Each structure stands twice: as C-alpha cells, then as structure tokens.
Amino acid sequence: MDAMVRELSYAQAIQEAMAIAMDMDERVFLMGEDIGVYGGAFQVTGDLVERYGTDRVLDTPISELGGAGVAVGAAVTGMRPIFEFQFSDFATLAMEQIVNQAAKMRFMLGGEVSVPVVMRFPAGSGTGAAAQHSQSLEAWLGHVPGLKVIQPATPYDAKGMLLAAVADPDPVMIFEHKLLYKAKGPVPEGYYTVPIGKADIRREGRDLTIVATSIMVQKALDAAATLEAEGIDVEVVDLRTIRPMDKQTVIDSVKKTSRLMCVYEAVKTLGIGAEVSAMIAESEAFDYLDAPIVRLGGAETPIPYNPELEKATVPQVPDIITAARDLVKGVR
Amino acid sequence: MAGASKAVADSRANLPFVYRQYSAEQLKQVLYKMYLIRRFEEGAEESYTRGLIHGTMHLSIGQEASAMGICMPLGEDDQITSTHRGHGHCIAKGAEVKRMFAEFFGKTTGYCKGRGGSMHIADVAKGNLGANGIVGGGIPIAVGAALSSKMMKTGKVVVSFFGDGANNEGAFHEALNMAAVWKLPVIFVCENNGYGMSTSTARSTAVKNIADRAAAYSMPGVIVNGNIFSEVAEASYKAVERARAGEGPTLIESKTYRHRGHSKSDRNRYRTKEEIEDWMSNRDPITLFENELREFGFIDDKGIEAIREAVAREIADGIEFAKTSPSPDVSETGNYVYTEQA
Ligand SMILES: Cc1ncc(C[n+]2csc(CCOP(=O)(O)OP(=O)(O)O)c2C)c(N)n1
Ligand SMILES: [Mg+2]
C-alpha cells in the first residue's frame, strides 16, 4: 500500500486527478483560459493537452460568463466539464451562470435535470497580485443552496475531493489557494475519493478547537506546534467543505475542548467564521463553552499591493498564536 | 495642437500625417516619451528580477507607438481607461515615471500610495482613470466617463484601451452598444497584439479583425498599423474630432505585438522565436519612428543620442526616488476603503 504513495505538489495532485477522471470517463473534459499549451496560469493542467488533445483540454476565449454557462449547458446534457477560472476573482463575471443557472436548474425544473459541473477557482492573497487577483470569495458561493463548495488544504485532499466532485451529480465549486499549489504531501496513486461534506481533525487537542480552512489549516498547525511547547493543546479541524458543512465534527470537538476559534483568510465579517460560530451557538456545544468564540479573518479591506500591508490583511501564524494564548488564558 | 508654421507646412505637404500636423519639438518629445516607456519597463523588469518589486507585471515593450499615437491628439482634460498592460498608456497620458516606480515599489509616493502596483497604475490628475486587473473591466467605465462628459457638457473625450482578448468579454459588447446608441464621445482602442495570453485571435475570435465588430454597433471601425506612430495618431485625431463633434464613438484596432511574454511567468510556448525575432528586428515601433524622423530631417544622430541620455537620467532618478520613498505603515491598512469624511 505504502509503495503507491508519492510526494506530490498540490497542483500535481489536481492534475493527476483530472487525468484519472478523463481516463475513467470519456464525458469528462476540461475548459478554461490558457489551460492548453500554456498549461494554465498556475500550471495545474500542465501538459494534459498533449495527452488528451485540444478537444478535451479546451482553451476558451476570455469569456467567463459565457464559458461558465457553456460548461453548465454541457453538464445538463450529458457531459462532465471541469471548468477552470484563471483566478477566483473572475467568478464575479460569471456569477449569473453559477448562481442563477447552475445552482438552481435542478430545483426549478422539479428534479428533471442535474448539473454535474465542477468549477475550480485559484484563490487567495500572498502573491502581490493586488486587489482584483487575491480575493477569497468562497463564502459568496457558500451562501447559495444548490452548490457544493469545498476548500481542500492538502495534496491528498485536493486529488480525492476533485475525484469526488467529478463523481458528484451536482455543481461543485473548488477553491484552491494559490500559495498551496507548490505545497507537497503524500498522495496515493490511482483512484480514491475524499468525501465532500466531511471535516477532518488534523490534530487532536484538549484545550482549544481551531476550525480552519484552506491555507489557514497549515498556519493553525504551525501555531499549534508552538503552543504545545507552552502547554496549550490545540485541536485543529480542517473544515474542507463549507457547504454542506460538517457540523457534527465541529460540535463534538468544541464539546471536548470548550473553546472555539475560527481562522480563515476571507474578510472576517459575514464569513465562514460567522457561520461556524452561529452554528455552535445554536447547538448543544454552546453550554460547553468556557470562553467567547474568537474569529480571525481577513481585514475589512481589499487586498493591498504593498507586501507588508498585504501580509497584515490576512491572519498569520503569530496572530493565531497570540489569539489562542489569550483565549486559553482568558484574556479578553 | 497645430504646431507647424505655414512655410514649414508647405515643405512637409507630402509627408505622413504627424509630420504635417506637429512641430519638430513636439515630435522629438514623442520620441523621448517612447524611449521613456521602453526604459521604464526595462527598469521595472530589472527591479523585479532583483527582488525590489513583487507580484507580477505585464510589459508593453513593442507597443509604444500605439500608446503615444492614440494619446497624441488628446488634451490634458481628456480621459483614458487602461489595462493590465498599461504602463505605456500612463506615461503617454503624462504621468511621471518616478511616481510610477514608487508605486511599483509599494511606496506612499506612488500614484496609488502603494495600494495598487503595476496592475492598477493610474494618474487621475492627468486623466488616467486607471489600469485594470479585469480584462475588459475598463471599457464600460470609459463609456460612463463619456456619459458624464455629455451630461456635464465638459467637452472631454474618453479613450478606452483594451486588448484583443477583451473583445470576447460581454462588457465589450454591452459598452459599445450603449456608446453608439447614446452617441457618446468615446474612442475604443483595441491594441491587438495577436494574443490574449497564450490564445491567438484566430483561436479565440470569430471575426478576422476586431474592427469588424464595429459594424454590429454602427460605428466606424478603423484598422491601423500600431507600430507606426503617424498612422495611429492620424486615426486617433479623426476619432477625437468625431467625438468632439458629437457624432459618437469610433473603434480603432491598432495591430501591434508584445516583445515580452504575457507576464513574468510566461514561457512563450504558443509562439515561435522567429515570430518574436521578426517583430523585434523588423517592426520595432521606436526604430521605425526614429528612422522616419531622421529621414525627414527632424532629428540627427546627436539629437537622438541626447534624448536617450536624458531618458536614462530620468529613469535612474525615478528608481532612486522610489527606493528612498517611505513605505506605508501597516496601521494604515484600512485607509481608502471608504471616503474619509470630516
Ligand atoms: C476577466 C479576466 N479574465 C482573465 C484574466 C486573466 N488575464 C489577464 S490579461 C489576459 C490576457 C488579455 O489579453 P488581451 O486582452 O489581448 O491583452 P494583452 O495581454 O494581450 O495586452 C488574461 C487572460 C483577467 N485579468 N480578467
Ligand atoms: Mg492581446
């Protein structure tokens, strides 16, 4: 079993998953801007066009609304498109097709169709690409019934969740943090899936639950390692899916640790942290809380270009350490 | 901007448009600015390589005549919207390179106070409403600015620069239609450099020329060789006259080429070395303009050398200014999100 596990980057893991999906099912194809000979803006499709040809690795014009809509139309009528947005920010141009069409078509037609489309969104800040190329918009789509929204944080999950997304009969939106693409981790060869809608406890602990998403999972784990030396035992829950959310895993963790902190890169207000906090406040775990819930999210500002400002707008490991320390010691 | 006197004008009667229309001083200034654009981008590229600038950038090296030609007939009050490949537009519309460098270095003295960087470079005081990170994003904004001009009777003309790739965004089509219906003083300038990132116009666009799209919106569609300054300036001049006369928009397609890759991460796998080489050695817009100026007796080698030296000084000073300017304080991260009110 172990012999089949290699170290792959997050981008390689996604590429492998797409190749496996195309090998297994000839209805699967890729669409997106510059995903062919260019290999994708982040080299995720890489040389797939050489292996699968330009019909199955289809470069689109720069037409996000139309392209996303074409993918939806193809999905409704028997194909299994995987649509790559060059940056998640450009989802804003395609909101109509994602929110009004893909998400609602099955419902509006009384279950007569389903929309098995997968959309991939390179997201997040940290690359110096400024305000229109650095956003974290997953909560926007997480607000829409009919969509499933996932944020794999490791190469293993990136591959397994993409394969689960392709097998899913409903539209699945995958947010991939750009800074994760080069991150390496163990990935088994061949086909496997990681279920959508299941959180993962990445580190067990007694004193505090940190619910984190995407790149913040690794930051939370790094913070936890430092805090361990101070005698603070952190449990890190990787949410993985934001819709449908795995409430039970979070509830059980909070019942165990009695403290909750949410860490995510998107703007703090009206975000995933608000949802997780409210969900806990409404649940039986509320009675177990020993301290107020803490949210660490992005600043209430677009992402600035200047690198120091850019870093300061999203939670960093020292911010998590300080907040966790204060939370456990009861500093308010 | 009538520069040439009557006697001079007669002697130039058979020369291309700009040599009849503008004074020698003005034309030398154009050459200066073309060099300024080129050297600015080379300086930015070098600073990037040395780690002084982060993020990415899109260089317009090879497209200088297009930016300069379009902006030539514009006045300081006229406005432009620009693109991710917007350094040339910014300089052509009158920006100072030192404040552009400062922006790229993320400094408070930059045009966007370090918040925008290359992709959002702007100079609002000089009428540049900004580069744009969104392909096609500036096109409707230009139409809106032209609507303001019409409603407020300011007489301003607005130019919207965009690339060939942008012509396949819905924003392009919606904006052109409104501009035509409302006869707005706006000029749509498609800088067709053959590719949207890796995708050639042949693979992305149903019409042969972007200018062919103009017919669908009942406006003139003009094709110019974007590497010949005079051709571009002449087309722009006519479109500006038409706009100022209240006759509505024009679509100009300026056919050109970018020498560099799309951005800092391009491996140029979608075009051949020979193609790039051909454009660089045989159709470089600065060389073409310089040769004409020399041939028509507007400048000699010494004059050209003087321009190059002056540009080099301005670039060196600009980089120094950027390096020594202060960075914004992290406590000011929340500034400019909303309008500060007293
Ligand atoms: C809406 C949107 N889609 C995609 C991109 C990514 N992107 C940036 S520039 C570019 C190519 C643009 O091509 P073109 O309009 O021809 O301008 P050029 O780069 O050639 O100057 C692409 C795909 C973007 N910035 N915005
Ligand atoms: Mg182009």
Q: Are residues A152 and A43 in the same domain?
A: yes
Q: Are residues A211 and A137 in the same domain?
A: no
Beta bridge pairs of residue B192 = B255
Q: Are residues A149 and A204 in the same domain?
A: no
Chain A partners within 8 Å of B120 (Cβ): 130-132, 305
User: Residue A96's domain is classified under what CATH number?
Assistant: 3.40.50.970
| A269 lies in some domain | yes
Tell me the pLDDT tens digit for each residue of A249-266: 999 999 999 999 999 999
Give pLDDT, residue A331.
75
Q: Are residues A35 and A149 in the same domain?
A: yes
Tokens encoding B126 = 């000089």
| A102 lies in some domain | yes
* Chain B, nearest residue to A131 by Cα: B116
Q: Is A177 an annotated catalytic residue?
A: no
Contact predicate A164/A198, CB 8 Å: no
Q: Are residues A91 and A134 in the same domain?
A: yes
CB contact under 8 A, B197 and A38: yes
Q: Are residues A137 and A231 in the same domain?
A: no
| A193 lies in some domain | no
**A145 by DSSP, 3-state: which?**
coil
Compute mean pLDDT per 10 residues along chain B, 342 residues long, and list them: 66 94 98 98 97 95 98 98 98 98 98 98 98 98 98 98 98 98 98 98 98 98 98 98 98 98 91 97 98 98 98 98 97 94 71
CA A164: distance to chain centroid? Answer: 14
Instruction: Report which secondary-structure segment, H or E, holds A13.
Output: helix A10-24
Segments forming the whole domain that contains residue A220: 200-326
Q: Give the span between the Cα atoms of B139 and A93, in whole angstroms.
A: 14
Å between A91 CA and nearest CA of chain B: 11
Indicate whether residue B166 lines ligand 1 (CB < 6 A): yes
Tell me the pLDDT tens digit for each residue of A202-211: 999 999 999 9
CB contact under 8 A, A306 and B334: no
Contact predicate B132/B118, CB 8 Å: no
Of A141, A145, A136, which Cα lies nearest the Cα of A119?
A: A141
Q: pTM of the full predicted structure?
A: 0.97
With vertex at residue B21, the alpha carbon angle to CA B15 and CA B23, rounded to the nearest 5 degrees, is 100
Going by alpha carbons, the residue nearest to atom 13 of ligand 1 is B196
**A169 by DSSP, 3-state: which?**
coil
Tell me the pLDDT tens digit for each residue of A66-94: 999 999 999 999 999 999 999 999 999 99
Indicate whether residue A176 lines ligand 1 (CB < 6 A): no
Contact predicate A35/A45, CB 8 Å: yes
Q: What is the DSSP letter of B307?
A: H
Q: How confident is the model at residue A1 (pLDDT cuts 50, 70, 90)?
A: low
Task: Write down the mean pLDDT value for chain A.
Answer: 97
Q: What is the mean pLDDT of residues A281-291?
A: 98
| A222 lies in some domain | yes
**Positions of E strands within chain B:** 79-81, 158-163, 186-192, 195-196, 199-200, 221-225, 250-255
In the set A133, A176, A177, A265, the catalytic residue is A133
ipTM over 0.90: yes
| A1 lies in some domain | no
User: Residue A262's domain is classified under what CATH number?
Assistant: 3.40.50.920
H-assigned helices in A61-147: 64-76, 91-95, 105-108, 138-142
Q: Are residues A67 and A99 in the same domain?
A: yes
Give pLDDT, residue B148.
98
Q: Are residues A153 and A262 in the same domain?
A: no
Q: For residue B255, report the distance from its CA to the centre of ligand 2, in Å.
A: 10
Tell me the pLDDT tens digit for each residue of A236-249: 999 999 999 999 99
CB contact under 8 A, B197 and A34: yes
Probe site for chain B from A65, A305, A313 (most B CB atoms < 10 A): A305
Q: What is the mean pLDDT of residues A167-193?
A: 98
| A331 lies in some domain | no
Give pLDDT, residue B1.
44
What lies within 8 Å, CB to CB, of A256 at 6+ separation is A206, A209, A235
| A332 lies in some domain | no
Domains in chain A, number: 2
Instruction: Examine the fold and report which residue of A130, A159, A188 is the final residue of a domain before the chain moves on.
Output: A188
Contact predicate B70/B90, CB 8 Å: no
Probe site for chain B from A62, A90, A132, A319 (most B CB atoms < 10 A): A62
| A129 lies in some domain | yes
Write the CA distances from B135 to A261, B139, B327, integer angstroms: 38, 9, 29
Q: Are residues A114 and A155 in the same domain?
A: yes
Q: Are residues A165 and A245 in the same domain?
A: no
Q: Give the span between the Cα atoms of B75 and B281, in whole angstroms.
A: 33
